[in-house]
């Protein structure tokens, strides 16, 4: 309880880290819902990793060009990392979506290859980058320790924009996901709505990867949405439940990590995994219980 009191204190040293963690916990499942509905789980694995490769390349670029990145402020580093992340994420999602729409080849194979290539490339680039050892590798592993006010504001502003767009255009995004043919017949520009959805996914993934790393970002993108799908009865419940689960687990994970001195990102993912297993068993039990209750009445 003492740890909880410390975390909730406005003077808590790592308050920006916990704020960022919770904001991302609430936001990632909102786009994760679309990954689950469009059955793009593998893309949910590959994109954060590709995003982290974008960070690695962006951070290596100054070294290749002969600039000393250490002499610039952390805000410049973060902005550069964000540009790398969003560029790679958007490019990857658009290329992968285009190839999937063409219907040739093996989508799972492409995503798997993109994932392992991106992961390997990130490690290779950072191993050859002297700045990689002074924190960036930790950032990619999901250690949310030093989040500046600038990082927090950037994350909050970006994810507020994503949330507003998802709320405002929910019916269009749902229509093109559920029934693309009807959307075309109704005169909707399906390419525009697809690109908007990918842009929102790209922004969320980029911010999440920069703050909590690719592994944790993947966890928050998919596991809360999968858990919520077990219990929700409609789309609103699905979205709200997934977002609440992500936000609460982000807080719980941070609390446990702080209490037991674990890295935050992996702690979050383990908590999500354990809760998913419990939720799955509970959902099965509920389903069996409902079925047996109904059969008694027949």
Partner 1 sequence: MNETLITLDNLSIGYNNQAVLSGISFALVRAGFTAIVGTNGSGKSTLLKTILGLLPPLGGRISTASQSARLIFGYVPQFTHFDSIYLLSAFEVALMGTYGRVRPGFFIPHSERDFTHECLSAVGVDELARKRFAELSGGQKQRVLIARALATRPDVLVLDEPTAGVDRGATHAVMEHLSRICEEVKISVLLVTHDFAAVRQHAGQVVWLYESDVFVGSAQELLTPELMAKMFERVSTPGDRGIY
Answer for which of 7, 37, 152, 283 binds partner 1 (CB under 8 A) is 37
Residues 71 to 130: which contact partner 1 by CB under 8 A? Answer: none
139-178 mask for partner 1 (x: CB under 8 A)? -----------------------------xx-xx--x-xx
Q: Which stretch binds partner 1 (CB under 8 A): 36-44, 90-98, 149-157, 283-291?
A: 36-44
Q: Which residue from 3, 74, 160, 237 is in contact with partner 1, where contact means CB under 8 A?
A: 237
Question: Closer CB to partner 1, residue 67 or residue 178?
Answer: 178
Q: Does 262 engage in binding with partner 1 (CB under 8 A)?
A: no
Q: In the bound complex, what is the minimum distance in angstroms from residue 272's beta carbon to partner 1?
A: 20
Rank residues 127 and 237 by Cβ distance to partner 1 and give the closer one.
237
Among 229, 244, 262, 263, the residue binding partner 1 under the rule CB under 8 A is 229
3-state secondary structure labels for all residues of the chain: CHHHHHHHCCCCCCHHHHHHHHHHHHHHHHHHHHHHHCCCHHHHHHHHHHHHHHHHHHHHHHHHCCCCHHHCCHHHHHHHHHHHHHHHHHHHHHHHHHHHHHCCCCHHHHHHHHHHHHHHHHHHHHHCCHHHHHCHHHHHHCCCCCCCHHHHHHHHHHHHHHHHHHHHCHHHHHHHHHCHHHHHHCCCCHHHHHHHHHHHHHHHHHHHHHHHHHHHHHHHHHHHHHHHHHHCCCHHHHHHHHHHHHHHHHHHHHHHHHHHCCCHHHHHHHHHHHHHHHHHHHHHHHHHHHHHHHHHHC
- Identity of the residue, 228 or 272, whose beta carbon is nearer to partner 1 in the bound complex: 228
Residue list 181-210, contact with partner 1 (CB under 8 A): 181-188
Q: 116 or 182, CB closer to partner 1?
A: 182
Among 39, 104, 106, 296, binds partner 1 (CB under 8 A): 39
Calpha distance 99→242 (Å, rounded): 29
Q: Residue 238 or 254: which CB sits closer to partner 1?
A: 238
The residues that touch partner 1, with contacts defined as CB under 8 A, are: 36-37, 39, 168-169, 171-172, 175, 177-179, 181-188, 229, 232-235, 237-238
């Amino acid at each position: 309880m003492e740890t909880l009191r410390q975390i909730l204190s406005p003077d808590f040293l790592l308050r920006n880290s916990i704020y960022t963690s919770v904001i991302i916990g609430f936001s990632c499942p909102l786009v994760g819902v679309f990954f689950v509905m469009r059955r793009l789980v593998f893309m949910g694995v590959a994109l954060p990793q590709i995003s982290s490769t974008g960070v690695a390349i962006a951070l290596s670029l100054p070294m290749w060009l002969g600039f000393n990145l250490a002499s610039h402020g952390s805000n410049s580093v973060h902005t550069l990392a964000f540009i790398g992340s969003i560029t790679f994420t958007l490019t990857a999602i658009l290329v992968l979506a285009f190839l999937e729409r063409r219907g040739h080849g093996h989508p799972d194979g492409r995503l798997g290859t993109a994932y392992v290539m991106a992961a390997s490339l990130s490690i290779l680039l950072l191993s050859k980058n002297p700045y990689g050892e002074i924190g960036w590798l930790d950032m990619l592993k999901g250690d949310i320790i030093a989040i500046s006010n600038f990082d927090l504001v950037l994350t909050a502003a970006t994810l507020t924009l994503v949330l507003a767009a998802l709320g405002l255009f929910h019916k269009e995004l749902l229509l093109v996901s559920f029934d693309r043919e009807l959307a075309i017949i109704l005169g909707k520009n399906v390419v525009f709505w697809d690109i908007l959805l990918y842009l929102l996914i790209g922004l969320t993934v980029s911010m999440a990867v920069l703050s909590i790393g690719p592994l944790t970002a993947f966890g928050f993108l998919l596991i809360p949405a999968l858990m919520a799908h077990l219990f929700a009865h409609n789309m609103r419940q699905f979205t709200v439940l997934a977002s609440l689960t992500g936000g609460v687990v982000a807080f719980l994970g941070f609390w446990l990590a702080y209490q037991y001195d674990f890295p935050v990102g992996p702690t979050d993912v383990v908590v999500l995994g354990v809760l998913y297993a419990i939720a799955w068993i509970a959902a099965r039990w509920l389903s069996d219980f409902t079925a047996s209750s109904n059969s008694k009445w027949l």
